[in-house]
């Protein structure tokens, strides 16, 4: 069992840290304050190849493994969770879905531009009336002589108002329930597609989250991704990989909280006080919880790359990483007492941002259900 990163993974980790220090860290607080989506920085991530890292070379990617992709999300989220979420949803969900399930023609049309960050992808599953119960979606796609007509509203969509390419899950055979859902690619300027309300959020204020409204959107037959009525299965597969990504995203935030806390305790040590012992013990616990999550995420990524079942492993990684990060960011704020409350303090932003880890791409309750289901069916791989 080798816990070391490969040379390539190490290079990617160093490169993204360097990028984060120079291009993200100095501006993240202002982006959060102003709810500003940093388009130019996203474009630079694309130009440097970070947005297409996991895509195959024939569509402009570098064919990197799941752990390398997770290191990029983690590295960006370490400095700005909003930007990290953009990378995770653009690369892992939208581009990932097209790469894994779309026709070659569609892959060649969309992926090179998505890989370079010239176009941004959005992945549209959630609706006002269906989140955890994703199969209960109401968006309809009706076939006619010219293709498909899509109608419905998507909710909480990352890149919902800044995206160029939307992967949309819609019901093509309502009587079949989850077996009657299909996936489509819809381009931004297709008549009838528009962004609705932009969601103001507790955290992740620099991430673009909006409703996406489809009002009789006509798409040609070639915009169907893969086979008709296979969209829900595709979405579940995409979410499996997405959960590794979100685990890494959480770990990045948690890592930030730990580093800030270490710096704070070092500073406090200059004037010894009885509070220090408790703080040191909390630091140890932060590190331990975060590291436990990271080991699980490395394992899930390893199973994915090995082509082995990894659904429950990804859920475990996301669950442990998100809860560890929520704990660590809460502690980091507590450490600094009143001083942490200032909007110029990164730890208060980390705490607000961390909450999404327990909600997005399946809530903690849903992860527990996935793990329990695997346990009860005897399908949980162990070491």
Ligand X SMILES: Cc1cc2nc3c(=O)[nH]c(=O)nc-3n(C[C@H](O)[C@H](O)[C@H](O)COP(=O)(O)OP(=O)(O)OC[C@H]3O[C@@H](n4cnc5c(N)ncnc54)[C@H](O)[C@@H]3O)c2cc1C
Query: Nearest distance from residue 331's CB to ligand X, in Å?
Result: 23
Distance CA 331, CA 334 (A): 5
Binding site for ligand X (CB under 6 A): 89, 123-126, 131-132, 156-158, 201, 204, 209, 356, 359-363, 365-366
Helix axes 346-354, 311-335, angle to 10 degrees: 150
Helix axes 275-305, 66-79, angle to 10 degrees: 150
Name the nearest CA neighbour of 89 among 214, 223, 207: 207
Closest-by-Cβ residue to ligand X is 131
Active site residue 361: yes
Q: Which is nearer to ligand X, 19 or 156 (CB)?
A: 156
Q: Where do we find the tokens 């402009």?
A: 60
Query: Nearest distance from residue 360's CB to ligand X, in Å?
Result: 5
Q: Which is nearer to ligand X, 155 or 279 (CB)?
A: 155
Query: Nearest distance from residue 282's CB to ligand X, in Å?
Result: 27
Q: Which helix (H) or strand (E) holds 231?
A: helix 231-268
Q: Which is nearer to ligand X, 235 or 258 (CB)?
A: 235
Q: Which is nearer to ligand X, 346 or 360 (CB)?
A: 360
Query: Nearest distance from residue 140's CB to ligand X, in Å?
Result: 17
Query: Nearest distance from residue 124's CB to ligand X, in Å?
Result: 6
* Lookup: tokens for 193: 């597609």
Q: Which helix (H) or strand (E) holds 222?
A: none
Burial class of residue 4, CB neighbours in 10 A (0-12, 13-18, 19+): exposed
Instruction: Check if the beta carbon of residue 80 is closer than 8 Å to that of residue 24.
Output: yes
Name the nearest CA neighbour of 84 among 250, 322, 302, 304: 250
Query: Which residues are CB-contacts of 236 (< 8 A; sequence separation ≥ 6)?
Result: 311
Q: Which is nearer to ligand X, 38 or 131 (CB)?
A: 131
- Give the active site residues: 361
């Amino acid at each position: 069992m080798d816990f070391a990163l490969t040379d390539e993974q190490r290079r990617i980790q160093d490169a993204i840290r360097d990028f984060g220090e120079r291009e993200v860290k100095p501006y993240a607080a202002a982006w959060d304050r102003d709810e500003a989506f940093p388009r130019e920085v996203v474009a630079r991530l694309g130009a440097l190849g970070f947005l297409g890292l996991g895509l195959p070379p024939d569509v402009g990617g570098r064919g990197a493994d799941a752990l390398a992709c997770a290191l990029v999300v983690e590295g960006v989220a370490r400095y700005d969770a909003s930007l990290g979420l953009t990378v995770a949803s653009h690369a892992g969900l939208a581009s990932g879905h097209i790469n894994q399930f779309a026709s070659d023609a569609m892959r060649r049309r969309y992926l090179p531009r998505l890989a370079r960050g010239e176009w941004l992808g959005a992945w549209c599953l959630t609706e006002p009336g269906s989140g955890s119960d994703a199969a209960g979606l109401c968006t309809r796609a009706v076939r006619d002589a010219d293709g498909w007509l899509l109608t419905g509203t998507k909710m909480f969509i990352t890149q919902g108002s800044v995206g160029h390419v939307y992967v949309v899950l819609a019901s093509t055979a309502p009587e079949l329930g989850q077996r009657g859902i299909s996936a489509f690619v819809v381009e931004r300027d297709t008549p009838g597609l528009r962004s609705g309300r932009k969601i103001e959020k507790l955290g992740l204020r620099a991430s673009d989250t909006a409703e996406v409204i489809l009002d009789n959107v006509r798409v040609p037959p070639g915009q169907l991704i893969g086979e008709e009525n296979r969209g829900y299965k595709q979405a579940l597969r995409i979410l499996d990989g997405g959960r590794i990504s979100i685990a890494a995203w959480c770990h990045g935030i948690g890592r930030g909280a730990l580093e800030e806390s270490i710096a704070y305790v070092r500073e406090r040590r200059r004037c010894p006080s009885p509070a220090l012992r408790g703080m040191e013990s909390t630091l140890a616990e932060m590190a331990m919880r975060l590291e436990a999550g990271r080991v699980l995420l490395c394992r899930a990524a390893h199973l994915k790359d090995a082509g082995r079942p990894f659904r429950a492993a990804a859920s475990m990684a996301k669950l442990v990483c998100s809860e560890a990060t929520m704990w660590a960011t809460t502690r980091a704020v507590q450490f600094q007492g009143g001083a942490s409350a200032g909007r110029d303090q990164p730890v208060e932003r980390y705490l607000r941002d961390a909450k999404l880890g327990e909600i997005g791409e399946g809530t903690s309750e849903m992860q527990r259900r996935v793990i329990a289901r695997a346990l009860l069916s005897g399908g949980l791989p162990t070491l």
